[in-house]
Amino acid sequence: MSFETFIAKRYFQFSGNRPPLLTFLIRISLFSIAISVFALVFVLSIMEGFEKDFQKRILGFRAPLLVVVQADQDISTLEEDLKR
C-alpha cells in the first residue's frame, strides 16, 4: 500500500475509536481545502487569460517604443541619442 493510499484511508474511513463528529469535521475540512485549491487555480487561469487579452488589445502586435536604426547610422551613438 502506498503512503498516499494509507493517508487517504486513515482520514476518510470511519474507525471504531474515533467519534463520528470528528470524522465528519475531517471530511468537511478536506473538502474545503479541495474547493479552495480549485478556486485558486480557476481564478489564476482566468486572470492569465484576461492579462493576455488585455495586452493584445492595448498594445497590439507592436511595442510602445520602436527603435529603428538606418543602415548608414552609427549604432554607438544610439544610446546618446536616446538620452536626449
Over its length of 84 residues, how does the chain's per-residue pLDDT go in tens digits? 899 888 877 777 766 677 888 878 888 998 999 999 999 999 998 888 888 787 777 766 665 666 676 767 666 776 776 676
The confidence score (pLDDT) of residue 80 equals 72
Q: What is the pTM of this model?
A: 0.50
* Alpha-helical regions (H) of 1-84: 3-12, 20-59, 78-83
The confidence score (pLDDT) of residue 38 equals 96
* 18 DSSP 8-state letter: S
